[in-house]
A and B are shown apart, each in its own frame.
Chain A
Amino acid sequence: MDGGRERGNKNDEEGEERETEVLGVSKHTKQIYWSNLGTPALTSASEMRERRREAKCSVTFTAASDMLRDKPIIIMRFMDSLHHPFGIGLLFAIVLFFLRVLNASSEQSSRCQDNKEAEVNRKKETQAAIRIQCWFRACRVRTYIRHLNKKAIIIQKAWRGFAARAHVRQMVKAAYFTMKMNFYNDMAVRIQKTWRGFYYRTYIHYFYARKRYLQQILMKNELLRKELDEIEKAQTREKEYLEATKEQKMKAYQAYRLHHLISTKQVPGVFNSPYRQDPEEMELLLRQVRYQVPTSRVRRDSGCLRGRCDSMGLSFSGPPESQSISTKTRELRTRLPPIGSKKGKAKITQTVKFCIGEVEIYTSAYECVHESVND
C-alpha cells in the first residue's frame, strides 16, 4: 500500500501539476488539502488505475480475498466513503472492481477466456472508466475550488470589515469636523451680519441722516431765498435813492444856471405865477441857491476825467468814489468859462474830442452827464 501510495503520489504529482495549472492554486495547498483529507482508502484515480492493473495480474487475488474476508470493515469504510464527496464514484469503482474480482476468482482456470472476455469489454470499460475518472476529477476540482472560495470569502470578509470600519471612523471624524465648521461659520455670519448692518447704517448710508440732510437743504434754500430777497429790496431801494439824488442834483444845477429867473420883489418870476397860491418848486429851489460869481478861467484839465465837487450851497458832491458813474463822463465843470473867450471854448471842444477810441462824448462844455457805452 505504501509503495502503491508512493507511486500514486508520483502520479498524483503529475495530475496535480495539471490540476494546479488549471486551477491556479499552488501545489502546496493542494497537497495540504489532500493530506488533510486523511482517508487512506482509494483516493486517487491513478491509484485506481494501478488497482486495475493489479486486477489484471493475479497478485490482486489475495488482496481481493482479504477484502472479502474483512467485509464488515469494508462496508464501514464504504459508508464513510459514501459521505465522502467522491463517494458515489468510489462506490461505482469498487463495485466494478468487486465484480471483476469475483469474476476473476471464479474463473481462474479459464484465464484465456477471461482475457478474451476482458478484451471484448475492454473498450467499453475503458470508456466507462474514463468517464468515471473525468467526473471524479471534476468533483475533486470543484471541491477544491469551493474550499478556496470559502476561505477567500472569509479573508475578504475580514479585510473588508476592517477597511470599512477604518473608513467609517475617518468619515465620522470628517463629518464631525464639518459640522463644527458649519456651526462656526454660521455664528460668524451672524456676527458679521449684525456688524455690517450696524456699520453701513451708521456710516455709509444712514437713511435718517440723509433725510435730515435733504430737509436741511430745503430749509437752507428757503432761508437763502428770503435773505436774497431782502438784499434785493435793499439794493433797489438804494438804487432808487441814488436816482432820486441824481435827479435832485440835476434840478439844483438847473436852478443854479437859471438863477436869473428868480422872482424879484417887483416882478414875479416865471416859476412864481401870481395865479397860483404857492410858488412852484423850481422857484423855491431858485430861492435856495447861493450864487457865486465865477472868478477865474476854466482849467483845461482834459486829462483828468474825474469829476470834482463844486463849492456851492447845494452840495453837488456825490459819493466820494466814482463807482456809480463812469469815469468817462464829464461831471460838472468846476468853473464856468468867462463868456467872452472863444479861444477857451475852442480849446475845450478840442480837448473834449481827444478821447479814447470810439468813446466820444458829445458834450458841449455846459451840459451835464452823458454816459457812453463802454463795452
Chain B
Amino acid sequence: MSQRLIIQVFEQYQKSRLQFVQTVADLATRPQNSEILHNAGVMPMLRSLLLDTVPSIQQTAALALGHLANQSDNLAEAVVKEDILPQLVHSLASQNRFYKKAAAFVLRAVATHSPELAQAVVSCGGVDALVLCLEEFDPGVKEAAAWALGCISRHNASLSQAVVEAGAAPLLVLCLMEPEMALKRIVASTLSDICKHTPELAQTVVDNGAIAHLAQMILSRDAKLKRQVFSALSQISKHSISLAEMVVEAEVFPAAFISLNDPDDYVRKNVATLMREVAKQTPELSQLIVNSGGLSKVIDYLGETHGQLRLPGIMMLGYVAAHNESLAMAVILCKGVPQLALCLSEENEQHIKSATVWSLDQIGHHSPEHAKVVAAANLLPKLLGLYMDTSSSEDLQAKSKKALKNILQKCTLVPALEPLLYDAPSNILKHVVCQFSKVLPHDSKARRLFVTSGALKKVQEIDAEPGSALQEYINAINNCFPEEIVRYYSPGYSESLLQRLEGYQPEDSLNTPPAPPTEGQQT
C-alpha cells in the first residue's frame, strides 16, 4: 500500500509538472504574456524541466522555450544567459525526434534575432548538433535543423563559414532530394542564405551538386519552393562568371521563363533577379538570354508589376544593354525604351528611378542611333528635370547627370536637343551646344529650323567666357549662318541700331529732306 502511495505521489508530481509545462507553453505562444512570464522567472524553471526524466515534459519545456525566445531579443538573450543552450545541445544527441525538433526550434528562435546570438549558438556547438540532426530519418527533424542552420547563416559570412565547415552542405543537398515539399523549401532557402555571402561558400555548395537538384525543382508547381529555388540560384550565380556559367549549363534558362508568368509575385521577382545576375557577368551570357527570347518576357514583366518588384527587371535590361551595342539595339527593338520611360514616370521611389536612369544611360550611350531612340521618347527633358530637381537624392542626381552627358554626346536629333537649350545649366548646355555645332554645318533643313524656332536667339544670349569650349562651339554655330542673321539675333541689336541712328546726320540738311527715321529695327 505504501508503495502505491509513494508512486501516487510521484505520479501527482509528474502530472502537475506536465500541466505546468503545458500551460506555460500555451501562454508562451502569445506575445503579451511573454514579458510577464519572463519577469516571473520562467527561464530557470524551464531549464530545470529540460532535464526532466519524462520525455514529454522535456519536449514541452523545450517547445515553451522556443516560443519564448521567438518573441523578442531580450528573451532570446535571457535564454542564452541562462546557459540553456549547452544543455540543449548536449541532450540533442541522445533524445528522440520530438525533442530534437523542439530543440532545433529553440536554436532557431535564438539565432534569428542577431548575429551575436547566432554566434552564441555556434560557439556552444549548436551547429554540429544541428548537422547531426540533418542525418536523421524524420523529415520534420531535418526541416527544423535546416531551418535553424538557415537562420544562423543568414547573418554574415563567418557564421555561414562555420555552418559549412561543420559539413552541412552535402547533407543539405541530400535533403533536397527528399520528397517532402516543406523540407525542400526550407533547404532551398538555407542554401540561398549560405551562398549569398562569398564566392567560396557558393563554390562549396555547388561542388556538392546543388545546382542540378535546384534546376530540377524549377519545374515544380509549388510557388514557395520556386521562390526559394530561384533565390538560391541567383545568389549562386551572382558571385563569378564560372558559377553563372554552371547555372546556365544546367539548362535553367528557357525553363525559367515559364515562371515569369507565375501568379506569385515573388517567384517572378526572383526569376528576374536570377536573370539579372546571369546577364551581368559576360556579354555571352547576356546574348544567351537574349537569344532564347528572354527580353520580351522581361519587358512584359515590367509592364505587369509595380513598385519594388520592378527593380530586378530594370537592372537586367541595363546590364544587357551595357555589354555591347548590338545587345542594346536588341533591347531597343523589343520596345524596352518606352517601357522604361513608363517606369520612370510611374515610380516614385528614388532608387528605382536611379536604376531606370542608369539603364537608359546604358542603352543610349553607344551610338547616335541609340541616342536617337532615347531622345525621341522625350526622355531628355525628363532626365534634365530629375537632375535639376532638388528633392532628388544625390545618387539620382549624379546618375541623371551622367546619363544626360553620355546620351547628349551622341545625340544628333535636333528637335530633341532644342528644348534643352532653354533650361539646362551650363555644364549640360556645353554638351548641347557642342552637338548643335556638329550637326548644323551639314544639314540645311536643321539650320532653318534652328533659326525659326528661336534657338539661334537663345544661343546668342548664352554668356560664355571667351576661350572656353562653350565659346568655341558658339562660334562654330555662328559660322554656319550668314553674318546678318547672327547680328539680327544677337541681344542688344535694336539698341545698337538706335545708336547708329543718333549718330547719323543727313548730308545736306538744307536741301534734302530729313531722312525718315529708320523703321523696322525698332522692335
Contact = CB atoms under 8 A, between A and B. Distances in A.
Contacts of B330: 214, 217
A357 B105 contact: yes
B181 A221 contact: no
B221 A228 contact: no
B59 A214 contact: no
Interface in B51-108: 59, 66-67, 70, 97-98, 101, 105, 108
A108 B224 CA distance: 165
Interface string A97-115: 0000000000000000000
B170 interface: no
Contacts, number: 90
A220 B291 contact: yes
Interface stretch (B139-147, B358-366, B381-389, B454-462): B139-147
Interface residues of A, number: 31
A77 interface: no
Given A213-B326, A358-B70, A220 B292 contact: yes
A228 B181 contact: no
B261 A228 contact: yes
A221 B295 contact: yes
Interface in A196-227: 210, 213-214, 217-218, 220-225
Nearest to A360: B29
A323 B221 contact: yes
Mostly, the B contact residues are helix
Contacts of A322: 179-181
A324 B222 contact: yes
A229 B300 CA distance: 12
Given A221-B296, A358-B70, 10 more contacts: A214-B330, A217-B293, A218-B334, A224-B297, A225-B296, A326-B181, A327-B182, A357-B108, A358-B67, A375-B185
A221 B331 CA distance: 11
B97 A228 contact: no
A323 B224 CA distance: 12
Interface in B302-357: 326, 329-330, 333-334
Interface string B426-466: 00000000000000000000000000000000000000000
A82 interface: no
B515 to A, nearest CB: 65
20 contacts: A214-B329, A214-B330, A217-B295, A217-B333, A217-B334, A224-B297, A229-B261, A231-B261, A232-B261, A303-B138, A305-B139, A321-B179, A322-B180, A322-B181, A323-B220, A326-B182, A356-B144, A357-B147, A358-B70, A374-B185
Given A214-B330, A305-B140, A356-B144, A228 B258 contact: yes
Interface in B120-169: 138-140, 143-144, 147
Contacts of B182: 326-328, 374
Given A323-B222, A354-B59, A375-B185, A210 B326 contact: yes
Nearest to A229: B261
Given A214-B329, A224-B293, A324 B221 contact: yes
A305 B101 CA distance: 14
